Amino acid sequence: MNAKKSIIILGIESSCDETSASVVKDCKVLTNLIANQKIHELYGGVVPELASRAHQKNIVPVVDRALKEAGIRKEDLSAIAFTRGPGLIGSLLVGASFAKAMALALDIPLVEVNHMQAHVLAHFAEENNGIGYKSIKNNPISLHPSFPFLCLTVSGGHTQIVLAKDHLDMEVIGETIDDAAGETFDKAAKILGLPYPGGPLINKYAQEGNPNAFKFAEPNIPELNFSFSGLKTSILYFVRSLTPPLSEGEGGDSRIPHLCASIQHTIIKILMDKLITASKQTGIKEVAVAGGVSANSELRNELISTGKKKGWNTYVPAFEYCTDNAAMIAIAGHYKYLKGEFAAQNIGASARYKF
Ligand code: KG4
Ligand code: ZN
């Protein structure tokens, strides 16, 4: 009797400032390598032109190592999945062109992936050691969220509440009308004189601060949508009005931890309030978070404690699957491969790709 043939996907992610390649076998992550681009720290944010040049330099060695460390030969691959969008067009084009060329050369299917859908599908990544899904969860029965579930997807460029009906059937039921939550963390950090990317630093300093020390404007936006531009402005004016003014430099002012804790607390309250409303409106109690901001310790704790109070099953990805990574692209590729959803060689990248 023939054993079922494994599906081995090479995932490629290049939508912003991380060049990542991953090999995933039957949803088990064999490798998930990320080349970070340090250069952007010098400029206080991602410089698109520099990002695409760095992807160009990194992509061959990252893919080569991802395959070697996985012990997989190019010829063993079932398909190549790449991020089609949304993201920075110059960065996306590097990954898309590479994936197209490699799929053509190997004569295997090419799979295009929506980056935001992939963040949600990161919940289906399994570790290779056979222990299954590595995540913090309060549901002892199910390893992964079961359908339908809600996912709060919070990243540098997007803030969405997604209703996931199936792996590839998802609907955005709420989103930001202006700035994203991650962008708000990063801009607030900049206002406080902290280096880029500011989200993790705000998280770090907040641990020593009082979340109720300062009050900032909270938006009043209808339905399940978000807005962060008013909060950003309110942080800017508040910090400008401080006497004495904030002293420059990372950690150089004793008010920084309290400011970080209060800003973080406000952003998370805005996110959680809408997620609670979404669960009430839909009646869905399977609730997940995804995207770079889901690496935030207060958001993770808040989701789990709210989940306990509300009787939700909550799902938080392992850290390495929160921020941008190619394993999530390969997982999305796996499900598209199963359905035979392949891309043609004339496919382009799409900076504003929606699903
Ligand atoms: O998903 P991601 O890696 O890239 C995009 O698709 O945008 O998200 C990056 C965002 C950045 O804004 C970064 O500051 C934020 O995620 N982030 C955090 C934390 N770690 C990353 N924000 C708050 N707390 C963190 N621990
Ligand atoms: Zn992302």
Residue 142 is assigned to a structural domain of this protein: no
- Is 124 buried (19+), middle (13-18) or exposed (0-12) by CB count in 10 A? buried
Single out the residue of 330, 333, 338, 337 nearest to residue 31, CA to CA: 330
| pLDDT for residue 41 | 80
The pLDDT tens digits of the residues spanning 212-238 come to 999 998 999 999 999 999 999 999 999
pLDDT band at residue 132 under the 50/70/90 scheme: very low
Residue 160 is assigned to a structural domain of this protein: no
Residue 134 is assigned to a structural domain of this protein: no
Of 165-179, 246-260, 306-320, 329-343, which gets the smallest average pLDDT?
246-260
**How many structural domains is the chain composed of?**
2
**Is residue 349 within 8 Å of residue 110, measured between CB atoms?**
no
Residue 254 is assigned to a structural domain of this protein: yes
Same domain, 54 and 97: yes
Same domain, 285 and 355: no
State how far the Cα of 55 lies from the Cα of 91, in Å rounded to an integer. Answer: 7
Tell whether ligand 1 has an atom less than 6 A from the beta carbon of residue 155.
Answer: yes
CATH of the domain at 46: 3.30.420.40
pLDDT band at residue 45 under the 50/70/90 scheme: confident
State how far the Cα of 299 lies from the Cα of 215, in Å rounded to an integer. Answer: 18
Same domain, 272 and 333: no
Q: Which of the 8 DSSP states describes residue 249?
A: S
**Is residue 41 within 8 Å of residue 58, measured between CB atoms?**
no
Q: Which atom of ligand 1 is nearest to the CA of 264?
A: 23
Give the domain extent around 263. Answer: 172-317
Query: Mean pLDDT score of the chain, rounded to an integer?
Result: 92
Tell whether ligand 1 has an atom less than 6 A from the beta carbon of residue 292.
Answer: yes
| Protein residue with its CA nearest to atom 14 in ligand 1 | 199
Tell whether ligand 1 has an atom less than 6 A from the beta carbon of residue 199.
Answer: yes
Same domain, 181 and 272: yes
Tell whether ligand 1 has an atom less than 6 A from the beta carbon of residue 317.
Answer: no
CA of 233 to the centre of ligand 1 (A): 20
| pLDDT for residue 249 | 57
CA of 153 to the centre of ligand 2 (A): 9
Same domain, 287 and 239: yes
Residue 149 is assigned to a structural domain of this protein: no
Q: Which atom of ligand 1 is nearest to the CA of 204?
A: 26
pTM of the model: 0.94
Ligand nearest to the CA of 188: 1
The pLDDT tens digits of the residues spanning 65-83 come to 999 999 999 999 999 999 9
CA of 194 to the centre of ligand 2 (A): 22
Tell whether ligand 1 has an atom less than 6 A from the beta carbon of residue 197.
Answer: yes
